[in-house]
């Protein structure tokens, strides 16, 4: 049940005798704190409620049932009823109150990271939400669930990464969920705009001039580049983190053929 609702703990009894004594106990794990007590003193019905619940309790003397209004997560726990009339009858109840989950937040964690040979640049995003009781965080592609996480540590933040290609036009959503509520945040393409950050620096050019093959390399890479004229493949030796990024090959032979690649170089730990 969710915060703010009203719950009634029904005892199943009807028409209790007027002179019975009714006691309700509560505790997060064990019901040992009196929260409501009703008895007949000198012919008068006296009902007392624990200040912890303020004016949110209502006891029904005919059935012994207890109603709790405007419940909150601190009301979760064990409740025990005692009806005393010559002998003691007991019943136990328990319930959990859940707060509404907040909307998850999506942020770019690393832009345009990809492996060698990738068809295009990629965007790494991370979805996060404040953890709560029985909360889960999930990534969806359309209606298909991709991955999910949860944690018993209520003091932690749930987070879930996702890597997509910039050219991916699927709809991605991050969903926070618990037994009483769910919140959805859709991945905005503005976080991963297409073609952002692509390289426009020419690093190598090879052509035939006057019957001679002329190949020029960008000085930024020093002597670390090697172009294969038979395949158009490019070899980069002794790579470093500044080499991370997007690479594009253009082969011009009457028409222009293009391919894009991207990769990320990481420091050794």
Domain-located, residue 11: yes
Domain-located, residue 195: no
**Per residue in 2-13, pLDDT tens?**
999 999 999 999
Find out whether 36 and 52 touch, Cβ atoms under 8 Å.
no
Domain-located, residue 1: no
Residue 119's pLDDT band, with cuts at 50, 70 and 90, is low
Q: Which residue has the higher pLDDT, 111 or 221?
A: 221
Residue 126: name the closest of 148, 168, 159 by CA: 159
pLDDT at 114: 45
Indicate if the pLDDT at residue 172 is higher than 70.
yes
Domain-located, residue 192: no
> 153, 186, 219 — which closes off a domain?
186
Domain-located, residue 42: yes
pLDDT at 61: 93
CATH for 80: 2.60.40.10
pTM over 0.75: no
> 157, 186, 215 — which closes off a domain?
186
Task: Based on the fold, state whether residues 111 and 170 are members of the same structural domain.
Answer: yes
Task: Based on the fold, state whether residues 12 and 72 are members of the same structural domain.
Answer: yes
Total domains, the chain = 3
Find out whether 87 and 75 touch, Cβ atoms under 8 Å.
no
List Cβ neighbours of 194 (8 Å cut-off, separation of 6 or more): 166, 167
255 vs 268: CA distance, rounded Å: 42
Residue 221's domain comprises: 204-263
Task: Based on the fold, state whether residues 17 and 71 are members of the same structural domain.
Answer: yes
Q: Is 129 exposed, middle or buried (0-12, 13-18, 19+ CB in 10 A)?
A: buried
**Per residue in 194-236, pLDDT tens?**
544 444 578 898 988 777 898 999 888 889 999 999 999 999 9
Q: Which residues pair with 93 in a beta bridge?
A: 79
Residue 190's pLDDT band, with cuts at 50, 70 and 90, is low
């Amino acid at each position: 049940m969710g915060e703010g609702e009203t719950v009634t703990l029904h005892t199943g009894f009807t028409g209790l005798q007027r002179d019975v004594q009714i006691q309700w106990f509560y505790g997060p794990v064990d019901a040992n704190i009196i929260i409501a007590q009703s008895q007949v003193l000198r012919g008068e019905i006296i009902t007392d409620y624990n200040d912890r619940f303020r004016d949110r309790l209502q006891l029904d003397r005919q059935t012994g049932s207890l109603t709790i209004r405007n419940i909150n997560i601190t009301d979760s726990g064990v409740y025990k009823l005692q009806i005393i009339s010559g002998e003691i009858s007991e019943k136990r109840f328990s319930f959990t109150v859940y707060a509404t989950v907040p909307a998850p937040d999506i942020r770019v964690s690393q832009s345009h990271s990809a492996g060698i040979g990738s068809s295009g640049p990629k965007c790494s995003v991370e979805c996060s939400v404040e953890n709560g009781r029985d909360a889960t965080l999930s990534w969806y592609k359309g209606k298909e669930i991709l991955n999910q996480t949860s944690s018993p540590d209520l003091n932690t933040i749930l987070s879930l990464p996702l890597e997509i290609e910039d050219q991916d036009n699927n709809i991605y959503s991050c969903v926070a969920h618990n037994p009483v509520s769910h919140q959805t945040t859709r991945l905005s393409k503005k976080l991963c705009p297409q073609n952002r950050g692509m390289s426009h620096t020419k690093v190598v050019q090879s052509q035939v001039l006057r019957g001679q093959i002329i190949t020029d390399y960008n000085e930024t890479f020093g002597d670390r580049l090697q172009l294969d004229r038979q395949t158009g493949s490019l070899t980069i030796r002794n790579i470093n983190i500044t080499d991370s990024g997007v690479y594009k090959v253009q082969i011009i032979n009457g028409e222009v053929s293009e391919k894009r690649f991207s990769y990320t170089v990481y420091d050794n730990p």
